[in-house]
Amino acid sequence: MTDKDANLVSTEQLSEMTGKTTYATPIFGSYAADVEMPETKLNNDPIEPRIAKEMISEYLSTEGNAHQNLCTFVQTYMEPEATQLMADTLEKNAIDKDEYPMTADLENRCVAIIENLWHADQNEQPMGTSTVGSSEACMLGGLAALFRWKALAKKAGIDIYSEHRPNLVISSGYQVCWEKFCRYWDIEMRLVPMDKDHLYLNPDEAMKYVDDHTICVVTILGITYTGRYDDVKGMDAALTEYNKTAAVPVRIHVDAASGGFIAPFIEPDLEWDFRLENVWSISTSGHKYGLVYPGIGWIIWRSKEALPEDLIFWVSYLGGQEATMAINFSRSASQIVGQYYVFMRNGFEGYKEIQMRTMDVAHHLVEGIKEMGLFEMYEEATECPILCWSLKEDAGKKWTLYDLDDRLRMHGWQVPAYPLPVDMEDITCQRIVCRADLSMTMADKFLKDMAAEIKNLDNATVIGSADTNISNKKFDHSGR
């Protein structure tokens, strides 16, 4: 018997204690104080809902304040009305369009609204769907490209079963979902290196990787670790030229996980979307700058031709014929309802105002961090509200960004330090992703805390710093 077992309350004791507990008993005066939270095996007996809720809430409350997590792109605030609406619709199954036709209608409206934001031409019959997030949406974009390539390559007499695998061209700043896609479907991932002068996909360089076995070029809006946009227009022009003589034309999938809901509002004249002829599919995360809690994503194909029939499944379910083109099947429709709420609530101008304010906060942080005089800025929220910096080589500090990362956590801030991707991994960066719930006041508090911790680090003798930490860290393609 372990010490832990010795402390456990027996079923008899528990039922006696439960019997004495009434709804009027304060939670921590009740038997709850002695109930173990199950770890590997169900407890024998049920407990009151209020007690289960309180215990789990307490347990979760130890993991930090989401608003201070400055490394995540994912929404950490929605209005109470939205939260209520989403809670009220949790039981609706998004896939069950026959039982929930009005919910399905809201999904179709969201798809149409996004098509409009991204300048899809209705004459080309664009199609789209919601997904769990960008990862699923990217998988679908990649799969459509693979299926299109197989059909066209066969027609062009290319041996698609040869040892020469199909490939996908993307910058080395890719998000991990693309590595997953390539591994799951046995695609060669051709990484176009970035350098200090090109912290995004360089179209001329990318073209060196394109051949008859290329299923698509993926451009990113923006790159996970800096927020910089790939040059989609430049890539489109290069492919237009290439496609004039190509055996198999190569198209673009834009992974607009974060930029898909920023560019239309902040830079409406920037051409990155279906205005460009080779952009055949675009994915985004509704739960990033789409302003909805996780998990929701979207993918749109520019035309019927862009989405091969083989990827559409017609499911006979509960009396109806439903088209499903997502990988996932059942999930709650509450995020779709949440997305529609934010669209309806904000309108174009409301979204614009939120994204502009978020950009203002990001620029304020850029200025504050630059004023400290110690950091080289790699990204100054030029396109997305994301900033990224490294410690200047001549800063003359004994500490590293890993040390600063640790110290900031003491104030609740999460601003992880990490090395840049291949060919630049000797540079260590810190990144802040500003979201709508990071106010100017909070940004000022962050700058104050950062300045104080720099002072503390300067004054401290840093034991076992930099080198030991760096050796354990790798560029994290998840980006979060």
- Shortest distance (Å) from residue 297 CB to ligand PLP: 5
Closest CA to 323 of 471, 479, 127: 127
Q: Of 267, 262, 223, whose CA–CA distance to 388 is shortest?
A: 223
Q: Please, what is the minimum distance in Å from the beta carbon of residue 476 to ligand PLP?
A: 10
Q: Per-residue DSSP letters for 66-84?
A: GGGBTT--S-----HHHHH
CB nearer to ligand PLP: pick between 202 and 285: 285
Q: Are strands 375-380 and 386-391 parallel, antiparallel or unpaired?
A: antiparallel
* Separation of first and last alpha carbons in the chain: 42
Question: Is 218 an interacting residue with respect to ligand PLP (CB under 6 A)?
Answer: no
CB-wise, 342 or 466, nearer to ligand PLP? 342
Give CA–CA dist 306/147, Å, rounded: 10
In the complex, what is the shortest distance from the CB of residue 181 to ligand PLP, in angstroms, rounded to a whole number? 10
Quick one: which of 69, 75, 285, 390 contacts ligand PLP (CB under 6 A)?
285
* Listed ranges 103-111, 127-135, 329-337, 437-445: which one lies at the site for ligand PLP (CB under 6 A): 127-135
The nearest distance, CB 274 to ligand PLP, in angstroms, is: 19
Q: Is 166 in the site for ligand PLP (CB under 6 A)?
A: no
Contact flags string 30-69 toward ligand PLP, x per CB under 6 A: ----------------------------------------
- Exactly one of 107, 255, 273, 453 binds ligand PLP (CB under 6 A); which one? 255
Return the residues of window 137-156 that contact ligand PLP according to CB under 6 A: 138
The least distance separating ligand PLP from the CB of residue 269, rounded to whole angstroms, comes to 22
167 binds ligand PLP (CB under 6 A): no
Q: What per-residue string of b and e applies to 260-285 under the rule 16 or more CB within 10 Å gives b?
A: bbbbbbbeeebebbbebebbbbbbbb
Alpha helices (runs of H) in 21-79, residue ranges in sequence order: 49-60
Is-contact 122 310, C-beta < 8 A?
A: no
Q: How far is CA 247 from CA 153, 160, 164, in A?
A: 8, 13, 16
| CA–CA gap between residue 212 and residue 246 (Å, rounded) | 7
Per-residue interface string for the shown chain with ligand PLP, residues 294-333, x marking contact by CB under 6 A:
---x------------------------------------
Secondary element (H or E) of residue 349 = helix 334-371
Closest of 138, 123, 82, 106 to residue 293, by C-alpha: 82
Token reading at 361? 């906060």
Give whichever of 260 and 308 is closer to ligand PLP, judged by the CB atom. Answer: 260
User: What's the CA dihedral at 84, 88, 91, 96 to 10 degrees?
Assistant: -100
User: Per CB under 6 A, does 73 bind ligand PLP?
Assistant: yes
Backbone angles phi, psi at 432, to 5 degrees: -120, 130
Shortest reach from residue 306's CB to ligand PLP, in Å: 19
Return the residue of 30, 103, 171, 224 that touches ligand PLP, per CB under 6 A. Answer: 224
Residue 400 touching ligand PLP (CB under 6 A):
no
Nearest position to ligand PLP, beta carbon = 133
Q: Which is nearer to ligand PLP, 133 or 166 (CB)?
A: 133
| Residue 409: Cβ within 10 Å count | 15
Question: Is 231 a binder of ligand PLP (CB under 6 A)?
Answer: no
The C-alpha atoms of residue 255 and residue 232 are separated, in whole angstroms, by 11
Q: How far is the CB of 363 from ligand PLP (least distance, A)?
A: 21
For residues 214 and 142, give the distance between their C-alpha atoms in angstroms, rounded to a whole number: 11
Residue 220 in the binding site for ligand PLP (CB under 6 A): yes
Q: Other C-beta atoms within 10 Å of 308: how many?
A: 18
For the purposes of burial, counting CB atoms within 10 Å of the CB of 37, is it exposed (0-12), middle (13-18) or buried (19 or more)? exposed
**Applying CB under 6 A, which of residues 257, 292, 299, 369 lies at the interface with ligand PLP?**
257
CB-nearer residue toward ligand PLP: 257 or 337: 257
CA dist., res. 401 & res. 408, Å (int): 10
The C-alpha atoms of residue 103 and residue 92 are separated, in whole angstroms, by: 8
Q: At closest approach, how far in Å is the CB of 28 from ligand PLP?
A: 38
408 binds ligand PLP (CB under 6 A): no
Q: Does residue 230 belong to the site contacting ligand PLP (CB under 6 A)?
A: no
264 binds ligand PLP per the rule CB under 6 A: no
Binding status of residue 258 toward ligand PLP by CB under 6 A: yes
- Work out how close the CB of 200 gets to ligand PLP at its nearest, in angstroms, rounded to a whole number: 12
The Cα 27–Cα 22 span in angstroms is 10
The residues of the shown chain that bind ligand PLP, judged by CB under 6 A, are 73, 133-135, 138, 175, 177, 220, 224, 255, 257-258, 285, 297, 479-480
